[in-house]
C-alpha cells in the first residue's frame, strides 16, 4: 500500500504538541515503516510594529500526515492527545490532493529568513516613522514582499521623491 497525505484536525494552537505526540506514538508502536513526514505548515514572520518573530500557521488547527491508512494507523492517529480526528470525519478520510501537498511543501522549502507581515496596498497613504524623513507622509508606489521593502513617494518642496523603506519604517495613516 502506498503512502498518501491526510489532513488531521488538531486543537487550535496545539499543532506542534500534537505533531510531537504523534511522532512519539509512532516510535512507541513501531510503525515508522507506515508513516512518512508529519508537517505543521507554518512560516516565521516579523511583526512590523513590535519587531517580534512569530510563527504563522498556513492552516491553523490542522497538520498534514503522510501515512499508509489502515485500521491500526487510523486508530493510532485518532487516539493521539491534541488530535481530534481526520478531516472528513469518516472511517476512510479522503487524501489531500497531490498538487495541494506540492504547493505547501514548496512553500515550506523556500522559507529561508523570517518575513515581515505585509498589510500594505499600492497607492495607500503611509506615515514614515523612521529615518531622515520621519513624520512625513507619502504614497506607496511599489511593494517588494520578498525583501520586506516599500517604495514610497513623498513630496519635498513640491517635488515627488521616491525612497525605499522597510515595512517597519512606515505605518498606515488612519
CB-CB contact of 99 with 32 (8 Å): no
Shared domain check, 21 and 99: yes
At 10, list the grid cell: 488538531
The neighbour count for residue 91, using CB atoms within 10 Å, is 10
**How far lies 108's CA from each of 67, 73, 88, 98, in Å?**
19, 26, 25, 15
Q: What is the pLDDT of residue 165?
A: 86
Note the Cα 91 to chain centre separation in Å: 29
The answer to whether residues 33 and 78 belong to one domain is yes
Tens-binned pLDDT, residue by residue, of the chain (174 aa): 689 999 999 998 899 999 999 999 999 999 999 999 999 988 777 766 677 777 778 888 899 999 999 999 999 999 999 999 999 877 889 999 988 888 888 877 765 555 555 678 888 999 888 777 788 899 999 988 777 788 999 988 889 889 888 887 888 886
**Which of 156, 146, 157, 153 minimizes the C-alpha distance to 170?**
153
Where is the domain boundary, 116, 140, 159?
Answer: 116
Residues 149, 108 within the same domain: no
Predicted TM-score of the model (pTM):
0.64
Separation in Å, CA 19 to CA 57, 63, 122: 14, 8, 39
Domain CATH number, residue 35? 3.30.70.940
Q: Are residues 105 and 140 in the same domain?
A: no
**φ, ψ (nearest 5 deg) of residue 87:** -70, 130
Place of cell 514548496: 106
β-pair type (42-46, 115-116): parallel
Residues 9, 71 within the same domain: yes
Residue with cell 515595512: 167
Query: In 3-state terms, what secondary structure has residue 163?
Result: strand
Q: Is 78 left (phi over 0), alpha (psi -120 to 50) or beta?
A: alpha
Amino acid at each position: 500500500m502506498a503512502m498518501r497525505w491526510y489532513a488531521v484536525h488538531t486543537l487550535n494552537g496545539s499543532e506542534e504538541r500534537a505533531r510531537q505526540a504523534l511522532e512519539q506514538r509512532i516510535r512507541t508502536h513501531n510503525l515508522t515503516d507506515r508513516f512518512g513526514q508529519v508537517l505543521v505548515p507554518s512560516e516565521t514572520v516579523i511583526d512590523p510594529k513590535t519587531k517580534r518573530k512569530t510563527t504563522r500557521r498556513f492552516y491553523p488547527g490542522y497538520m498534514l500526515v503522510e501515512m499508509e491508512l489502515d485500521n491500526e494507523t487510523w486508530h493510532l492517529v485518532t487516539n493521539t492527545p491534541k488530535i481530534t480526528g481526520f478531516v472528513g470525519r469518516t472511517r476512510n478520510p479522503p487524501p489531500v490532493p497531490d498538487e495541494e501537498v506540492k504547493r505547501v511543501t514548496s512553500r515550506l522549502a523556500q522559507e529561508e529568513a523570517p518575513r515581515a507581515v505585509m498589510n500594505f496596498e499600492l497607492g495607500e497613504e503611509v506615515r514614515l516613522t523612521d529615518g531622515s524623513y520621519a513624520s512625513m507622509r507619502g504614497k506607496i508606489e511599489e511593494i517588494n514582499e520578498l525583501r520586506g521593502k516599500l517604495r514610497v513617494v513623498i513630496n519635498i518642496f513640491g517635488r515627488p521623491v521616491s525612497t525605499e523603506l522597510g515595512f517597519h519604517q512606515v505605518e498606515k495613516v488612519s
